[in-house]
Each structure stands twice: as C-alpha cells, then as structure tokens.
Amino acid sequence: MSDNVEIMRHSAAHVMAAAVKRLFPEAKFGVGPALDFGFYYDIDIGRAVTPEDLQKIQQTMDALVKEKLSFERSEMTLDQAVDLFKSLNQDYKVELLNDIRTKGTTKLSEDEAGDIDPNAPEKVSVYKTGDFVDLCRGPHVASTADVGACKIWKTAGAFWRGKEGNPQLQRIYGLCFTTQDELKAYQLMLEEAEKRDHKKLGRELGLFSFSDLVGSGLPLWSPKGTVLRTVLDDFVWQLRREKGYAKVAIPHITKKDLYEKSGHWAKFKDELFKIVTREGHEFALKPMNCPHHTQIFDSQMRSYRDMPQRYAETTMVYRDEQSGELAGLSRVRCITQDDAHVFCRKSQIEQECFAIWDIIDVFYSTFGFDLSVRLSTHDPDKFEKYLGTKEVWSEAESQLRQMIEKRGVAYEEGEGEAAMYGPKIDFMGLDAIGRKHQVATVQLDFNMPENFDLTCVNEKGEKERVVMVHCAIMGSIERFLSVLIEHYAGAFPLWLAPVQIAILPVADRHLDSARQLADQLSALNIRCEVDEAAESVGKKIRNAEKQKMPCMIVFGDKEAGGELTVRWRGQADQQTLTVDNFTQELVKKIKSRE
C-alpha cells in the first residue's frame, strides 16, 4: 500500500466516523486505521449496529463527501488533549492519552500507536472533520471529497484494545479504492471469496468441524480432512529428506525455565497456556518448538564435522488467542507446524537458506502460486520487543538482504514484521482470485544460540557459536489449508483429493465387481470410494459432483466386463479405458502431482 493510498484510506475512516457522529451524537470512538483494502473504525453507540444503521452511515458518508469538508489540524499538549476528549465524553481516547502520559507509546498496540508521533509524544495532534474530532497523527487528504471510492462493507465485534473483559465495540469495515472500477473489482473478488469460504466448504465436504464442548479455535479433523493434512505433510517431508533433514520429536509441555532462558516467557507469556502441577511446578503448553530443539542440539558436544544439524518435526503448538480473533482455520488455538530448525556455522547460512528456498519454490509451484518476497526486519522504534543487540540484528538483516539480492528476485521490506529473535524472509503467495497470503518463511536467528550458549568445536579445537535457521514451508497446516481450500474452491487436484475415484454402481448386481475394482485401486494406494447407496445413478453423480470428486466411474454391465467409462471433473468428454490402462494413467497423474 503506497503512502498516498494509506492516507486516503485513513481519511476515509475519519469520514465514516464523522458520519457515525452525525447520526449518533453520543457515540464513542476507539481506533480507526487504514487497511490493505480500506479501513475500519471501532465504535460504541450503546447497542449493536444493524444493517439499517450501515445503510444510513453510507448515505451520510456520501453526503459528507459532497460537502467537501476540510480536515482541520491542531496541536496541543497531552494535558490539553485529555481535557478536550473528557469534554467530548470520549472515554477511550482519554484512556489512550493517559496511557501515553504514564507509560509512553511503547505500551500501545500498532493501531493505537499509529495516532501518536513517537518522536514527540509530549504533544499530540487532533483533526476535526465536521462535528467529529479525533486524536490522530495524520496526515490526511485536503477534504472529504478526496477519499476515493468508498463503501461500507461489514461489521464485527471487537473487544476494546483486544482484551476480553473490556467493553465490546462494533468494528465497522469499509472498502476504499482510488477509483470506482478498482472498488467494483474488489467487490467482485469478495463475492467469489464468499463462495470459496473454507468454513462453508469444510463443512460441505466433510473436512473438519468445531465443537462447543471441545472449545473455540480447536478444529476436529475428519478422515477426509486428515488425508489432506497427511498428503501435504508427506510432500514437505519428501522435499526435506532430499535436503538431509532428520525427524525429531518433543513433548507438548515444558517447564517455565526453558522459555525463561529462550526469552519467550518475557516477550510471549500472555499467549501461553500455563499449567501448575500438584507439586507447584509451573509448566506451559508449547507455543513454538525452537527452544525444545535447542536442547536436542545441546544434548551432546558437536564437532564442525557434525555441522549442520537439520531437525524437522510436524507437531501441534498452542497459543491462547483472543476468542474474538479466532476465524475458522485461519486463526486457531492449536496450530500444527511443519517446523524445522537448522543449526549451522555462519559460513553455512547461505547454502542452508538457499536449500530451504528451493523446497519452497518446488512446493508452491505445485499449487500454481506466484510467490513474492518480503524481507521482514525489526522496528527500530520498538527495539524492546526483540532479543539481542542492534548490532546483531543489523548483521542478520544484512545477510538476508544479500542472499535475496544474490537470488536475483525483487523484494519489499516489511519494517516491524520480524520475529522476536531474528529477521526473516517471508514468501507471499497469490491465490486463484488474486489475494495475497503470507505462506512460507525463513528466519535467521543469532540470538537464541546465544541465550542457550550453543556451540560446536571448530577446526582449531575452539568453541564456535552456531546459528539457527527457522524454516516453515506451510507454517500452520490449519492456516495453509484455509488458503488452499479457497484457492481450489474445494476442487482439489487428483493427487491431493481425499477421495480420488468415486465408483458409482448402477444396480445392486454390480456391487461385488465395483468393490473388486476398489480393492484393486486401493492396493496401488489410490483413494477410492464405492457409493453403495440405494439411489439412482443420476443422484449418485450429483452427489459426487457436489463432493468435487476428481474422477468418477459409473459402473454397470460394461464396466463389470473390464471396460471403464471414466468421467474427469471439468471435462465434457468421457474416456473409455481398460482397467490396466486406467490404473496406469492414474498412477502417472498422481506421481506427477497433476
């Protein structure tokens, strides 16, 4: 998002808030940042916002645009701002200002801090648009007429400052683009995305479910969904094994001490599920695997001849996410990571990172994703969020930057997007309808080896500090599957589909022969299913089509004689093949991941 577009979208958020203020004079306001597609604003009008309210807000926004109101800026001290927003009964703004006064800007969230200039926190700027007055760093467009093509989109509940127990506000989302054509194109994409919603398709295709008894954000995987997870994980493991990785396994809990030493307890403790045993010891469910893997490396002395050590593990981790932020498979509390960590010497960093990059290229090209690269660096204004020193971070970031440039790809920089222990190369993939997702990642970590004093013995017999490379290909299998389900609209390619062949007997007398064919295919590790329901062939075909089966065989007298009529999904013409020719073609297609 360019600076000009961000300014336009943030200004549009103010116009929407001004519309809310005109309609609901007693409304209270939280924060309203710009987003990649528009903006949102958290508001409190004393009740839930209705569709009729949204329609009125849209109409009032349109009127404010026509009025060409200016964005009037003024500057004042913190005390003056507190007095102003108290007089306006804007309790949420007063709370933010008081936090700035007592704790500084570092205690604010990214969205909250966006309204404050960190270089001059003793003074704040205020913008007035019509009757709406807001605490805002700016800048803004000249007038309400300059906010582009805007449309109210949807609402959601949002706890104030993202904390359960705080008041729940109404988050109103708006779309904002430079032109009406861009807005219309995005709306068409949203309509297509709704059809592809993984939550809806997951239920219709019988892939996963959620249970109130189990808890929010804890998906339950059916046999079909588990096939998807397993096939994808096996693919990643095949690629990793070719690069010399070895599998390891660790427990799902740990003593608090491990995360205190790694630095996660200080930086990450609010997102941990904590356990206190009957003896009074404090444990935690692991939110990540890297500290455990350091202990495998550190379990024996390593020579330079043993380097690098490459560990891979697919395992669940657990994070205490806010319930309001959970969303299908996209945001869950138990996350299955296809995780790997390389312990290497500094001289080996490039070859190990490039080997991971090769895996990522092969994996994502299989699904037709166009990848772009982001170098995710630390935020220099919030260095307290990170482990280590600025010198170490500068070295790590410089090394990743040089590798990207050596690879010869264009990249963007994402300041503040680094992990707490090191910078990373993030791979961004475009799905079938043009949405960008952060997918794989390669992270360079000089800090955790320092915390755990991880070394190898070099050629001179001296201890040498090692480096960690964190690498995830899918990252979270849950999140990746949410992307993949929507990318394919549930119509998975043959090699990946939970059921690859649907065999549809015409009558009961064909059941035994249909089962024999299924057994023959199963012996070749081909996933097939015989529809034995007492229904018409037409109904069975429609059911198979609804389940988006890649291939179906209507099994009648001719098929019982060994000649198969094969229907491939998306193809109007049918194939007539012998059983042997059909199985040979299937095996070839599956092996080549068509």
Q: How many residues does the chain have?
A: 594
Model pLDDT, residue 120? 53
Residues 35 and 130 grouped into a single domain: yes
Whether residue 335 is predicted with pLDDT greater than 90 in this model: the reply is yes
Q: Give start and end residues of each alpha helix (H) in 68-108.
A: 78-87, 91-103
| Catalytic annotation, residues | 290, 319, 337, 339, 341, 424, 470
Model pLDDT, residue 409? 94
Residues 341 and 434 grouped into a single domain: yes
Residues 37 and 176 grouped into a single domain: yes
Enclosing H/E stretch for 312: strand 309-318
Question: Does the residue 318 lie in any domain?
Answer: yes
Model pLDDT, residue 440? 95
Task: Give Cβ neighbours of residue 436 (< 8 Å, ≥ 6 apart).
Answer: 372, 428, 429, 430
CA distances from 594 to 227, 367, 490, 586 (A): 17, 10, 16, 10
Query: If you write DSSP's letter for every residue of 48-72 in order, what string do you get?
Result: PPPHHHHHHHHHHHHHHHHHT-B-E
pLDDT band at 277 (very low <50, low <70, confident <90, very high): confident
Model pLDDT, residue 111? 57
Whether residue 115 is predicted with pLDDT greater than 70 in this model: the reply is no
Q: Write the CATH number for 350.
A: 3.30.930.10
- Do the Cβ atoms of 76 and 127 come closer than 8 Å? no
Residues 356 and 458 grouped into a single domain: yes
Task: Give the torsion through C-alpha atoms of 394, 400, 403, 405, to 10 deg.
Answer: -80
- Do the Cβ atoms of 143 and 70 come closer than 8 Å? yes
Model pLDDT, residue 572? 84
Name the residue among 234, 188, 65 with its Cα closest to residue 593. Answer: 234
Determine the 3-state secondary structure of 365 from DSSP. helix
Model pLDDT, residue 435? 86
Residues 42 and 129 grouped into a single domain: yes
Query: pLDDT of 214-230, one tens digit each?
Result: 999 999 999 999 999 99
Residues 241 and 133 grouped into a single domain: no
Model pLDDT, residue 114? 54
Residues 41 and 146 grouped into a single domain: yes
Final residue in a domain of this structure, among 194, 216, 232: 194
Domain of residue 286, residue span:
203-366+426-488
Model pLDDT, residue 7? 93
Question: Does the residue 248 lie in any domain?
Answer: yes
Lowest mean pLDDT among 162-171, 179-188, 192-201, 337-346: 162-171
- Do the Cβ atoms of 187 and 153 come closer than 8 Å? no
Whether residue 117 is predicted with pLDDT greater than 80 in this model: the reply is no
Query: pLDDT of 177-200, one tens digit each?
Result: 999 999 999 999 999 989 999 999
Final residue in a domain of this structure, among 170, 194, 218: 194
279: number of Cβ within 10 Å: 5
Report percent pLDDT > 90 for the chain.
78
Model pLDDT, residue 537? 92
Determine the 3-state secondary structure of 218 from DSSP. coil
Residues 124 and 54 grouped into a single domain: yes
428: number of Cβ within 10 Å: 18
- 493-505 mean pLDDT: 96
Residues 188 and 268 grouped into a single domain: no
Model pLDDT, residue 116? 59
Whether residue 106 is predicted with pLDDT greater than 70 in this model: the reply is no
Question: Does the residue 465 lie in any domain?
Answer: yes
Question: Does the residue 401 lie in any domain?
Answer: no
CA distances from 320 to 272, 324, 538 (A): 6, 12, 48
Enclosing H/E stretch for 209: strand 208-209
Distance CA 575, CA 587 (A): 16
Determine the 3-state secondary structure of 331 from DSSP. strand
Task: Give the torsion through C-alpha atoms of 138, 141, 144, 149, to 10 deg.
Answer: -110
Task: Report how many domains make up the chain.
Answer: 3
Q: Write the CATH number for 528.
A: 3.40.50.800
Model pLDDT, residue 431? 87
Question: Does the residue 390 lie in any domain?
Answer: no
Final residue in a domain of this structure, among 159, 194, 229: 194
Question: Does the residue 359 lie in any domain?
Answer: yes
Model pLDDT, residue 23? 96
- 482-503 mean pLDDT: 96
Question: Does the residue 414 lie in any domain?
Answer: no
Question: Does the residue 540 lie in any domain?
Answer: yes
Model pLDDT, residue 560? 84
264: number of Cβ within 10 Å: 25
Q: Write the CATH number for 33.
A: 3.30.980.10
- Do the Cβ atoms of 378 and 423 come closer than 8 Å? yes
Distance CA 447, CA 13 (A): 40
pLDDT band at 535 (very low <50, low <70, confident <90, very high): very high
Residues 214 and 362 grouped into a single domain: yes
Model pLDDT, residue 119? 55
Q: What sign does the dihedral 489-491-496-499 (CA atoms) show? A: positive
Model pLDDT, residue 1? 62
The per-residue pLDDT of the chain, averaged, comes to: 92
Residues 31 and 87 grouped into a single domain: yes
- 453-470 mean pLDDT: 96
Report percent pLDDT > 70 for the chain.
97
Residues 512 and 465 grouped into a single domain: no
Whether residue 64 is predicted with pLDDT greater than 70 in this model: the reply is yes
